[in-house]
Structure 1
Amino acid sequence: MVEVRIARSENERDDAFNVRTKVFVEEQGVPLSLEIDEFDKSAQHFIVYEDTRPIGAGRIRETDKGIAKVERVCILKEFRGQHLGFLIMKELEKHAESAGMKKIKLNAQSYAIPFYEKLGYMVNSPEFMDADIPHRAMEKEIQS
């Protein structure tokens, strides 16, 4: 069974960090010093589990009043293509809405823009480099 959970313990946070490390550091070559940052302590972390195995992760944090930022969304390579990215994004959006957020922002890797567009996000920046990977800023207004 696949489910998305909010990290409520150190072990669950570690599960999120382990998935992120596999995807961003090992697979994409992002330095660990950039992947784990100062926002990890204050962000709300979400983990996708297949039974007890962590297979996806993402985080959300408030950046300004009423504005949430979704970051570090990833699914282990062998589980991609199963709509798990949509599953975690819907949970992140529900969390933002329940917290009274009016807008969600994110920085999408350029190849992932069509994925986020299907969820209603709109590109609002030119391409820029982050950790040597091309990105574009995107945002979505949400109901509250």
Structure 2
Amino acid sequence: MEIIYLNSTDEMYQQVLNLRYDLFFRERGLPREILFDALEENSTHVAIIEQGDLYAYGRLSETAKGIFKISQMVVKPKIQGKGLGSRVLSELVNSALEKGAKEVFLNARLHAVSMYGKIGFETVGSSFIAKGTGVPHIKMVKCC
């Protein structure tokens, strides 16, 4: 399996959009347009693929000078728990550091807090319900 960086014009990017929609939004009856938030176009898109198949994905966005947000982390359900999410996360953190990050943050689903913690993210504040999906999350931060 290899890690690749994607552009929105890449064929694999459509697979990314489909996986994100299927796992995060379809079940909640949300429109596909929800994928195209204010961060989408100017983000770094990282995926793990093998023989043309998508297995994992994550997005990195600079929200302010030196402040980066990781979002839309997803791993195909049939291969979750095999470390692919951690590989994508590490790649995104390294990319943020190369771009001069002072801080990297994300909003973690509560069941994923331990994975993010293993890579140095710490929880901040209380859990909250995500507006778009109604799923509980908590902010996590990694200082650089």
After TM superposition, the score normalised by the length of structure 2 is 0.89
1:9 Cα offset (Å)? 5.1
Residues 16, 58 of structure 1: 8 Å contact kept? no
Moved over 6 A (4+): none
Residues 44, 60 of structure 2: 8 Å contact kept? yes
- 1:76 matched residue in structure 2: 76
Number of positions where the alignment pairs a residue of Structure 1 with one of Structure 2: 140
- 1:47 matched residue in structure 2: 47
**CA displacement 1:36-76 (0-9 Å, x = unmatched):** 32221111111111221011111001011111000000101
- Quick one: distance in 2 between partners of 1:112 and 1:120? 13
Q: What percent of counterpart residues are identical?
A: 26
Residue 13 in 1 paired to residue 22 in 2? no
What secondary structure is seen at the aligned counterpart in 2 of 1:126? strand
| Ranges in structure 2 where 5+ consecutive residues have no aligned partner | none
- 1:134 matched residue in structure 2: 136
| Ranges in structure 1 where 5+ consecutive residues have no aligned partner | none
Q: How large is the RMSD of aligned CA atoms in angstroms?
A: 1.6
Which amino acid in 2 is paired with 1:20? R
Residues 70, 106 of structure 2: 8 Å contact kept? yes
